[in-house]
Amino acid sequence: MYRTWGTSAKDTAIGLFPLEQPARAAEEDPPADTPPQPPDANPLRHGCDDAWAWDGRSKSPDARLGGPGSRVAHFHPNWSSGTAGVRGDRVLNNGRFFWELHLSRRIFGTSMMFGIGTKKARLHADSFTNLLGKDNHGWGLSHKGLLWHGGKWTHYTKPFRENVPTTIGLLFDGIAGTVSYYKDESGVKAIGQDEIHTVYSTKTILYCEQTYGDMFRSFDDDEALKLRNMSPCLGIAFRGLNEVKEPLYPIVCSTAAKTEMVLDSMKRDFVNLQDRCRAVIVKRIQSRKDLEKLFLPPKIRQYLDEAVLDSVVPFKPVNQNNMWVVI
């Protein structure tokens, strides 16, 4: 994802909802004559691909999981009489992680939420409620643009447009203790031969070329593909998460019937130099079968095996609502 301008006071001040501590002072806006900052390219672009899924043992009975790698969460398949949530199986503490959620056209209802929480965060309610952040165990953003934590809310961004496919990005920084959100509802989904690409208007691309010049035009093919991630950063939403001692996990929930959230574009930061070296090696390994052909000590092979990502079938919508139907 990219930003189209530098950080401003609005980015850092709006929607701060720290853990039982006053909001920190926002940075001042840069002088009017300050040139535009380079786009905040795909978060953790110097990191590596990550692999996790929704946890089938940690979900509401009104949530179904499916699709490639159990990355599709489908809520209230028939009708809704409450709030359903599902937790991811990735522990976030002390690391930096980024992931995207693709929302189908069915964006409506009391609350569709995206964020993080501990194992104590509720994943089901027999009422329509803002479940993630209803207590001190969750931190969430609702599709109405509100941040929730500890049963309290604050304005963060404008409400999402109903019936418009939207992509939400979450950046968790366990070192700084923050969560930031990215949002895009301008892309138009177009099915390619192998995957779904987001096609942006010529106006958007021209703006980037005029603003960032040669730097933008010098992107290689891989960087050009990241145009599908071009979404504005909404700013820091929560602070103080580095003080949380319990394991934190990604969580999503919804009150609306037949709604869907697809997990995609997972990235993580490197832990150390050894981790970085492993990522370079794994890039040249297509599958675990290739790894078995290498004459390596068992310990090293096991360490590499942990980072080999099995290829998955790309997503393609199968109905008029751009939804991957979970049977």
Which amino acid is present at 282? Answer: V
| DSSP secondary structure of 40-103 | --STTTTSEE----EEEEEE-TTEEEESGGG-EEEE-SS--SSEEEEEES---TTSEEEEEEEE
Q: Residue 37: count other Cβ atoms within 10 Å of its Cβ.
A: 14
Are 169 and 43 in contact by the 8 Å Cβ rule? The answer is: yes
Residue 105: closest CA among 283, 273, 309, 319: 319
Residue 245: closest CA among 19, 58, 15: 19
Are 11 and 30 in contact by the 8 Å Cβ rule? The answer is: no
pLDDT of 9 reads: 32
End-to-end CA, the chain = 31
Question: What tokens appear for 235 in the block?
Answer: 């700013």
Domain ranges in the chain are 9-271
CA-to-CA distance for 28 and 207, rounded, in angstroms? Answer: 25
pLDDT of 185 reads: 59
Token match 């009391």: residue? Answer: 110
Q: Helix 298-305 crosses helix 273-282 at what angle (to 10 degrees)? A: 80
Answer positive or negative: Cα dihedral of 88, 90, 92, 98. Answer: negative
pLDDT of 132 reads: 94
* pLDDT tens per residue, range 116-163: 999 999 999 999 989 999 999 999 999 999 999 999 999 999 999 888
* pLDDT tens per residue, range 198-254: 333 333 333 333 433 443 333 344 443 444 444 578 899 999 999 999 999 999 999
24-33, 72-81, 86-95, 279-288 — most confident range? 86-95
pLDDT band at 323 (very low <50, low <70, confident <90, very high): low
Q: Percentage of the chain with pLDDT > 70?
A: 67
Are 154 and 280 in contact by the 8 Å Cβ rule? The answer is: no
Question: What tokens appear for 317 in the block?
Answer: 């919508």
**Residues 6+ away with beta carbon under 8 Å from 271:** 95
* pLDDT tens per residue, range 168-198: 999 999 999 999 999 885 443 332 323 323 3
Predicted TM-score (pTM) of this structure = 0.69
Which amino acid is present at 236? Answer: I
Which amino acid is present at 25? Answer: A
Token match 């980037």: residue? Answer: 208
Question: What tokens appear for 185 in the block?
Answer: 């509802």
Section 30-37 average pLDDT: 41
CATH second-level architecture of 9-271?
Sandwich (2.60)
Are 95 and 44 in contact by the 8 Å Cβ rule? The answer is: no
Section 290-315 average pLDDT: 75
Check residues 222 and 299 and name the one with the higher pLDDT.
299
**Residues 6+ away with beta carbon under 8 Å from 25:** none
* Residues composing the chain: 327
CA-to-CA distance for 60 and 125, rounded, in angstroms? Answer: 9
* pLDDT tens per residue, range 43-101: 787 788 888 899 989 999 988 988 877 889 989 988 888 999 999 999 999 999 999 99
Are 9 and 26 in contact by the 8 Å Cβ rule? The answer is: yes
Give the C-alpha distances (Å, rounded to integers) separating 138 from 116, 151, 234, 239, 253: 6, 9, 19, 13, 11
The gap from C-alpha 106 to its chain's centroid, in whole angstroms, comes to 18
